[in-house]
Structures are given as C-alpha cells and as structure tokens.
Chains A and B, each alone.
Chain A
C-alpha cells in the first residue's frame, strides 16, 4: 500500500554540507505557502562536514508539533542515511535516492531519483537542493507554482539566469516526481487551507528572538555555544533597528557580568548559552541576586555532563538553573512548550526581571530551538514595554527597605541621586556592612520579593479533561506537543495532561489539580528533575516517571505506548 492520508512524515537525510537544511527550509516554506500544516524537527552531528544528519517534516491535516519516529517518505542524499535511520525505516517507508549513492536495503525497494544528475545536466551541482524539493513536491502531489514564486523572489538579486536555471531545476524534479508517483501508485492526501498559507512560519529560535525584542531587550553579551548561540545570531542579524548592542564576550563570565552592568545602567539585557557555558555564569546569577539587577538568561539545553552531546536535546539543566549561584535569593524559571509560548515567555521574562530586579531563566532545548512550525499571526501580539525605573532624587537609596521587598530602581545619570550597588552585604545606600541587624533586614527584603513573584506565577495548561481523569501526566517545556498528540491518539479519558511553562516557582492555585490523581511526570532527563520540583513546591509524590535521556526528543509513538502501559 502506497497511500498516505492526513498525516505524513517526510524525512531528508544526508551528510553535513550536502544541503539537507537548505532543502528543509525550502520545502517547509513552500508547503506552508500552499496551505499545508507543517512541523519540522532535526537532528544533526557535531561536525561541519560529513556524518549523517536528518530532518523530519510532518505534513498534516490538523496542526501537530511533535516528532514521530515513523518515516513515510525518506529522501536519502548519501550512503550514510539508511544505516543511520534503519530503526525508523519500516516496510511502509518509501525510500528515494540516487542508486549509486545510497546503497541498498535488504528486501526494500529504493526509488532511483537523480538529484545530482539533473543538477549536473543543468550545469552545476548547486541545483541539487532545488531538484530535490521539486521531486518531493511532485511525489507529494503539491503544486509547483508556490515554489517557482519563491525561487523568483529568492534569487532575483542574483540575476535572471540563476532564476531561470533554478526554475528549470524545480520543473525537472517536479515532473520526475509526478511521473514516479503515478508509475508507482504513490498517493498522498493532505488537506490544504488558505488560512494556513497566511500564517507565520518560524523556528523556535526565531520565536525566541522576536520575544526577546518584544520584551524590550537592547543588550546582549554572550559567548557562542550550541544550541544557545541562535539568540546571539538572531539579535546580531535583526537587532540593529531596535538599538540592540551586541557583544561577543571573551567568556561566559564576562558575558553575564556585562549583562549586569548593562542592566544597572538601565538597559534590558539578556545572555544566551547552554549548560556548560552557564556553569561559568553562575557567579553572576548570585551577583544579580545580591545587587538586585535584572538579567534574563536563556539556556539552550543539550545533554551533559561536560561537553556531552553538543547537538542533541535534553531537559537536564532544570536543577542547574534552580540551584545556580551561592546564597539565597529569588528567581524565576520559564520553559516554553510551543513557539507562541516561546515568544510570550521571552517577553514576560524581561517584565519579571525588571519588576522584581531578579534573574529570570528561559529554558529551551535543541529540539524546540530547531523545530519549525506555522501558527496564526494573531498568536503574537506586540505591545509597549512596561518599565520599572525611577528618576532619582538627591537622597536616593538604592536598597530602600519596602513592604514588598522591591526597592525603587534608579539608573545612573537619570536624576540627581547616586546609584550604588555592592556585592558585599550592604545597607540601604549600598555601603558595605557587617551589621547582623542590617543583614537580616536586607536578606529578608530580598527574599520578600518571592511573595509577589509566586502570586504572579503562570498557571499550567490543561490538556484533555482533568476533572474526570484518574491519571495526570505532567510535562514541562518542549514536551507539550508530544503529550498533546499522544493523549489525543490514545483516546483514553481516564488520562489527562498538565503542562507547566513556568517551572519555578509554581503557582499555589495549580496544586489542587493534583488531588486524588495518579501522577506521572514526562521529562527528557534521567533523574526526574521536575518531579523533584513538584515534591519541593507542592509536597506531591509522583507515582511514576516517563524519562528519556538518549539525546533524542520523545516520539509520539513511544509516549502513546507509555500511556497504554500505564492504564
């Protein structure tokens, strides 16, 4: 049977440098323009050339934002692909590739598709990606028009000749793909909707970048580290019209200390890194707590310890964010589950950091950062930024004791007062003190901010019918999409889901959702870090954990299986 309907998983595989990501970017863009719902996620090796990488594009009738293990159509660009993905290839998988390049697969037909031969016929192997997209569109039974328009827009500035050649390449591939599908009886039926074609299409990293700008960010100092670098790149590429100062720091220690200097001087600063780089930043987190200077910290998680698996995914740094920095001080940890949440939480992070003068974390991971999806424009709203700074008077004291613990924050040069901050314990005017009574007043003032912070904590998202469910599956961060889909597919009303996008501190109000239920926590780590936070914050005992820590994201299939096994 070669008929696919409603939900298709198309996987592109190849060596680094072969253009897999180019094909992915082109294909999702064109499919979205044609009104298809798409969701793409990728896995790649920590190298610049060679190896074996793949990207999965799901094309579905209803919106999905999760990885499936299943491969329906596999486009293999080189010989490493089949061995690399063999566990995901089933009898139903249709494999396409150039025979002389991809090798063979026992008892499995491989459709010979001349990606490079067509490109070479057009005079340059550079057209391979365009040919490949053309073939894929032909096999899928999609239109070619949107692709031609895209190529025209994209290559216009390179001259008419390049545009012509690319369109020729696309047509050649497309015609070939159409004929192949017809000859082999391949049928693909996926719904197309006009409104989807008008939606926004972006990577998680782009949602993060936009949300950061929406939060009023105008300062970034960071040191490159995968997968955190994406935000540094984004603000370097798009931050100029927003007056964002971009500094590539000599190390992560400098980065966060610069971020705090900028925050002290009234900028809205962010630092971005991954777990390893963040380890170096922890002294700065503690400093933020003491000098009560806002800072937003993005951690793009990847598996550790140490260098770990640099390009893979994990939710292993919740504990790190929770406990980083010596001493006691309030903090907030946010962990978006969707692209829309990534945008709104990035903005929210700057609001919280500024209002409470604290470090606020955004925990993402490689999987969410690199995934691409489309969603309605109205999901992202732009509004003016709320600021919490005051103009100082001559008698200004930076650490004035207040009821809610928040001392009005002045900025040097804004008003007639002096703005002083000190990493030593200090009095209201920031002079060093060793007075025990002042210490108590100051420490309690800082910790008192937690009351307001907890009152404002974001409520988790309910998935399914919580009221009637006996079992509650709890997820956080990037696992929202996979939990939503797996619960829907399992169709068992005795099981519901709860997704936290603020993981610390937890809102008091959500505690009652757990009452009388069997609690299962789903997370991408080995020790159940969020299960521990639930126990810490709510005093809840978690019945079971669904854990994964091999560097890959959860697949819908495996979560469905786990849910079945629970009931």
Chain B
C-alpha cells in the first residue's frame, strides 16, 4: 500500500488488525500477490482489498461470494478469498452464503462480524444481540441473532472457525489453516466497532469468549454444533473441521486450465452444427 493511501476506517477500528492478519497469513504462506484474488461486497470491511497488494473484485453489496465462486471456477489455480462484513455476508448476501456453502468451492470466506452496521451509521446487523438499541431498533433488537457458525456447520461446510481481531497471532494461524483447507472455509471474525457498537466492546469480547483447547474434537459435528449454539460464552478457534470433500470447481469442469486460455474447438462446433442436417 502506498504511504499516501487515505484509509477510510476510523482510528482504532477493528478492521486494522484484520488487515494485518490477512497480510501476515498470506506472507507466511508465501502466496505471491499475483496469485491471490480478493472479492468483497460493500461496507467498511469490504474495503480491505483496497489496502492490500493483491488482485481484487470489489463488487456490490452482499455479492462477494458469487464472483468468488466464478473466479475460482474460471481459474482454479488462483487463491480466492471473499471478505466482507456481517451485514453484507449474512444479511444482503444471505442466500449466496447458504448456497455457496452447499457448493463447497475451494475459497476462504472471511467475515468481519462487529454485530452492527457501520457505514450506514449504527443500525442492527443480522448478528446484533437482542435488545440492542439503535437509530432504527429504537426499542431494542427483537430478532434472534443469526448464527453463522451453526448455519455453516449444518449446511456441510468442512471448515468453520471463529477468531477475535484483538488476538492477531491466533487469528492469523486460523486464517492460514482456512486458506490451506481444500473446500469452502468460513472464518467469522469478532471485531468491535468503536463508534456504533457500545455494547460489544474489546472488553465484552474478552469476557464473553474462550479459546478451544487441544481436547476439542473438531471433527465431531454434533459437539461442534453444541459449541456453536452456545451464545453465552462463545468459542474461538477451529470449531469444526471435517474431511475434505470434492470442491465445486473440480465438479463442474474438467481440468484446471484457466478459461481464458481455452480456444473454441471449431471442428467440434462444425460437427455439432452438421448434426442438425440429419
């Protein structure tokens, strides 16, 4: 990033450590920038690719995942990361979230989860806690919060992790594992919004989360679901990781040649046309 880059984030924003987490993960994994494509939607989190030296597709609100799937299908050799916020991924893009998990493309999905809408100034997000008062939810949020971790496990995701942006070292390790994992990998990142979310602060996240230790059986789906459903004390780490299964780009196409390199087989087309003269 050039030194004169004008960062659009508020000083002290939880996005800064996430940016560092991704930089460190990519550099430690030694993935060259020209092999990484980041897809994002809209919102403060979605601006992350702007501040990285990678290819990026910064598309529309809620739509980070559809282009990510298509880019991976079109050129499977690229490392594709879709990154956006909780509103973008779980609200506006909810349907894509569900069906991307079902497809299982070999991409990493990093979701900045600060439980509030930042760029539109403080409304509830799908993950806001019940009772949180906002300029729209004036009497407090009445909806049940969306549970991305449980949803992803239920839909058959083979890698589901949750980290806290306040712990860069642990978060970076899990993001690395997610990138290396073959198949769709979700990393939900707890992150405070210091301007609009006075409820879920650095302190709150510290008090309401715990680290999974080595005794956690991350391949045990029902145990992982029990952990995912516990919203009182929320686990950090790889909550669920199952045996890899064939990823989407290996199922919908043959080989891994980038599509821009495949010329039209004029002979096959002429033959196909000829068939209509029968």
Contacts and interface: CB of A to CB of B under 8 A. Distances in A.
A265 B98 contact: no
A424 interface: yes
A284 B78 contact: no
Interface string A184-220: 0000000000000011111000100010011010110
Interface string A247-261: 101110111011111
A269 B67 CA distance: 12
Interface in A74-122: none
A262 B58 contact: no
Contacts of A389: 260
B70 A218 contact: no
A124 interface: no
B63 A257 contact: yes
B273 A382 contact: yes
Interface in B173-211: none
Nearest to B63: A257
A249 B34 CA distance: 28
A243 B57 CA distance: 24
Contact of A377 (B259, B264, B273): B273
B142 interface: no
The residue among B34, B65, B260 with the most chain A CB atoms within 10 A of its own CB is B260
A266 B54 contact: no
B276 A201 contact: yes
A420 interface: yes
Interface residues of A, number: 69
Interface string B234-278: 000000000000000000111001111111111011101110111
A265 B96 contact: no
Contacts of A442: none
A254 B99 contact: yes
B95 A242 contact: no
A264 B67 contact: yes
Contact of A383 (B67, B258, B266): B266
Nearest to B96: A254
A377 B59 contact: no
A250 B95 contact: yes
Contacts of B278: 33
Interface residues of B, number: 58
A200 B33 contact: no
B229 interface: no
Contacts of B253: 243, 245
A516 interface: no
Given A242-B269, A412-B75, A247 B259 contact: no
A210 B274 CA distance: 11
A431 B50 contact: yes
B272 A266 contact: no
Interface of B: 5, 8, 33-35, 37, 39, 42, 47, 49-50, 53-60, 63, 65-71, 73-75, 77-78, 95-96, 98-99, 252-254, 257-266, 268-270, 272-274, 276-278
Those 4 A-B pairs whose CB atoms lie nearest each other, nearest first: A266-B260, A261-B67, A261-B70, A265-B74
Given A218-B262, A291-B59, 17 more contacts: A202-B276, A213-B269, A242-B265, A243-B259, A245-B74, A245-B252, A249-B99, A254-B95, A254-B96, A254-B99, A267-B74, A382-B269, A411-B260, A413-B35, A417-B34, A418-B55, A421-B56
22 contacts: A216-B264, A249-B99, A253-B63, A253-B96, A257-B63, A259-B70, A260-B67, A260-B70, A261-B69, A262-B73, A264-B71, A291-B59, A380-B273, A382-B269, A387-B260, A414-B258, A415-B34, A416-B34, A420-B49, A420-B58, A422-B58, A423-B58
Interface of A: 33, 198-202, 206, 210, 213-214, 216, 218-219, 221, 238, 240-243, 245-247, 249-251, 253-255, 257-262, 264-269, 283-284, 287, 291, 377, 380, 382-385, 387, 389, 411-424, 430-432
